């Protein structure tokens, strides 16, 4: 009599713990986005239009190179640890060597670019100072993976919030130190770099713990005694590069798809149109955090593990996730339609009223993105990442083509339509591959 009740109590406890972890991750991400927004507003006011544009361009240049440092190592770690468990530690030395190599190459390329885009024979000092953002981004990603593997999701939420909080603190301290509150773009770059140095040092410490074997790997049983380096052959740089590149390309194609719309809108229409679209997309980006946190932060280590331990449970998570993502996405879309038109001008000002129609169109993409998150998470496990990269590349190209076709005809509205169509395409091809073509689930599709 007590056994079913005990089992139910255990399940309820696990559900509560999962909901608590997801909620903490979501709140941390929202706070991080809020701190980033406040920092940008403070800088825009303190720098003025020209200096703020100069700083933003330099920072964007550096951050475009950030995905090249490591080129997918962080994502690949989740894959190999999910497959090999404690033996996954054997990949760490070669992975760190690969990370150092790609980071150095990226830094050299950015340095060369700084000299090419400089003026009067002088390099662009903003880019040179901000280059430390490369190491900070790598530290953020590797430490995040370590915390995911350990199941320390509260720590992960704090860690992802920390860089934005440090940036805000450094910028605020800089402005307070000036009596008139007026700073230069160089000052802002130094403040950002100070925060990046702190993040790099903290991340390096966490990675050093992993190198020493100080890892509380969750879901793979107790750590076995003995030297894991003697159990299996050590991977080489070539092995790491061969395994990590799909994850690196996935990040690159995501960057192309996620940011190209505003770039094309600015080039093919006007800065005003790009501003209206960007203000509307701020809300959509915040909403996209929800499925991203669930699948990419909370569930992903478990999905990698289940892909090698119990595919039937993985398939149940996929089916249940599809239902809940569709319901939740549709509900959020309806909430956007109902609530945001009234409060939008109060947040941005009435000069942004033209963005409301764009927001209504972009909201159509929410259920597509939510459902695609469920299917896409399955394609990260086992050896499916290479296929997912091809699908992402197809969607990125489709988005570029749609923007080139629709923006000249409809302006910002065409850009919003292109985004919705691309999200729908992304969802469809992910689901088709998982359901129809993927051998992974063939024996579990009933």
pLDDT tens digits for 164-217?
999 999 998 888 887 665 688 888 899 999 999 999 999 999 888 888 777 777
Q: Last residue of a domain, which of 200, 235, 270?
A: 235
Q: Are residues 308 and 217 part of one domain?
A: no
Q: Are residues 199 and 81 part of one domain?
A: yes
Residue 3 in any domain: the answer is no
User: Is the backbone of residue 85 left (phi > 0), alpha (psi -120 to 50) or beta?
Assistant: left
Least confident of 63-67, 260-264, 283-287: 260-264
d(C-alpha 378, C-alpha 208), whole Å: 31
Widest CA span in the chain: 84
pLDDT tens digits for 44-71?
667 765 676 677 767 777 877 777 888 8
Q: Are residues 252 and 173 part of one domain?
A: no
Query: Mean of the pLDDT values across residues 132-160?
Result: 86
Which pTM does this prediction carry? Answer: 0.65
Neighbour count for residue 332 (Cβ, 10 Å): 18
Q: Which residue has the higher pLDDT, 39 or 119?
A: 39
d(C-alpha 116, C-alpha 126), whole Å: 13
Cβ(225)–Cβ(376) below 8 Å: no
Q: Provide the 8-state DSSP code for 420.
A: H
Q: Are residues 314 and 231 part of one domain?
A: no
Backbone angles phi, psi at 367, to 5 degrees: -60, -35
Q: What is the pLDDT of residue 231?
A: 52
Residue 12 in any domain: the answer is no
User: Is the backbone of residue 121 left (phi > 0), alpha (psi -120 to 50) or beta?
Assistant: left
Q: What is the pLDDT of residue 445?
A: 46
Least confident of 21-30, 221-230, 236-245, 322-331: 221-230
d(C-alpha 444, C-alpha 164), whole Å: 43
Long-range interactions of 357-362: CB distance < 8 A, separation 24+: 357/413, 358/276, 358/277, 358/280, 358/412, 358/413, 358/415, 358/416, 359/280, 359/283, 359/284, 360/336, 361/413, 361/416, 361/417, 361/420, 362/280, 362/281, 362/284, 362/416, 362/419, 362/420
The residue to which tokens 């160089």 are assigned: 186
d(C-alpha 192, C-alpha 186), whole Å: 10
Residue numbers of the domain that contains 262: 245-446
d(C-alpha 253, C-alpha 318), whole Å: 24
Q: Are residues 316 and 396 part of one domain?
A: yes
Residue 79 in any domain: the answer is yes
Residue 359 in any domain: the answer is yes
Q: Are residues 432 and 287 part of one domain?
A: yes
pLDDT tens digits for 384-408?
777 788 888 888 889 889 989 998 9
Q: Are residues 212 and 324 part of one domain?
A: no
Q: Last residue of a domain, which of 208, 235, 262?
A: 235
Percentage of the chain lying above the pLDDT 90 cut: 14
Residue 282 in any domain: the answer is yes
Percentage of the chain lying above the pLDDT 70 cut: 73
Cβ(265)–Cβ(355) below 8 Å: no
pLDDT of 1 higher than 50: no
Q: Are residues 154 and 122 part of one domain?
A: yes
Q: Where are the alpha helices (DSSP H) in 310-384?
A: 311-348, 355-362, 365-378
pLDDT tens digits for 214-256?
777 766 666 655 544 445 677 888 888 888 877 777 777 776 6
Q: Are residues 423 and 361 part of one domain?
A: yes
Residue of 300, 296, 437, 308 whose CA lies nearest to 382: 308
Residue 422 in any domain: the answer is yes
Please state the length of the chain. 446
Q: Are residues 301 and 215 part of one domain?
A: no
Q: Which residue has the higher pLDDT, 129 or 212?
A: 129
Q: Are residues 254 and 166 part of one domain?
A: no
* Number of domains present in the structure of the chain: 2
Residue 68 in any domain: the answer is yes
Q: Are residues 354 and 275 part of one domain?
A: yes
Residue 9 in any domain: the answer is no
Q: What is the pLDDT of residue 184?
A: 83
pLDDT of 25 higher than 90: no
Q: Last residue of a domain, which of 235, 266, 282?
A: 235
């Amino acid at each position: 009599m007590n056994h079913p009740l005990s089992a139910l109590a255990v399940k309820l406890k696990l559900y509560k713990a999962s909901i608590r972890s997801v909620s903490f991750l979501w709140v941390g991400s929202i706070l991080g986005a809020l701190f980033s927004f406040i920092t940008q507003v403070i800088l825009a006011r303190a720098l003025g239009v020209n200096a703020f544009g100069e700083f933003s361009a330099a920072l964007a240049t550096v951050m475009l190179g950030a995905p090249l440092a490591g080129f997918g190592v962080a994502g690949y770690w989740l894959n190999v640890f999910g497959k090999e468990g404690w033996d996954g530690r054997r990949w760490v030395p070669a992975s760190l060597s690969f990370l150092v190599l790609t980071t150095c190459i990226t830094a050299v390329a950015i340095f060369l670019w700084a000299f090419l885009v400089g003026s009067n024979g002088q390099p662009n000092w903003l880019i040179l100072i901000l280059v430390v953002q490369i190491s900070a981004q790598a530290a953020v990603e590797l430490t995040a993976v370590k915390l995911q593997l350990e199941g320390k999701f509260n720590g992960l939420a704090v860690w992802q919030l920390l860089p934005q909080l440090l940036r805000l603190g450094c910028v605020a301290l800089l402005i307070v130190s000036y009596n008139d509150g007026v700073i230069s773009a160089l000052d802002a770059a130094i403040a950002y770099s100070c925060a990046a140095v702190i993040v790099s040092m903290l991340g390096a410490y966490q990675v050093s713990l992993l190198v020493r074997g100080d890892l509380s790997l969750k879901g793979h049983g107790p750590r076995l005694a003995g030297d894991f380096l003697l159990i299996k052959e050590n991977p080489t740089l070539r092995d790491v590069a061969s395994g990590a590149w799909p994850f690196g390309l996935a990040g690159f194609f995501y960057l192309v798809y996620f940011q190209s719309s505003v770039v094309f809108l600015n080039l093919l229409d006007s800065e005003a149109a790009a501003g209206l679209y960007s203000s509307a997309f701020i809300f959509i980006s915040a909403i996209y955090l929800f499925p991203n946190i669930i699948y990419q932060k909370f569930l992903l280590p478990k999905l990698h593990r289940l892909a090698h331990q119990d595919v039937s449970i993985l398939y149940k998570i996929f089916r249940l996730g599809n239902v809940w993502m569709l319901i939740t996405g549709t509900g959020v879309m309806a909430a956007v339609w109902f609530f945001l038109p009234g409060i939008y001008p109060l947040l941005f000002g009435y000069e942004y009223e033209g963005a409301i129609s764009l927001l209504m169109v972009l909201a159509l993409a929410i259920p597509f993105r939510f459902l695609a998150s469920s299917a896409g998470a399955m394609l990260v496990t086992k050896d499916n990442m290479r296929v997912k990269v091809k699908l992402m590349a197809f969607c990125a190209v489709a988005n570029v083509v749609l923007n080139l076709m629709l923006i000249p005809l409809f302006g910002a509205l065409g850009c919003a339509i292109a985004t919705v169509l691309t999200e729908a395409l992304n969802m469809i091809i992910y689901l088709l591959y998982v359901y129809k073509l993927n051998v992974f689930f063939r024996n579990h599709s009933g």
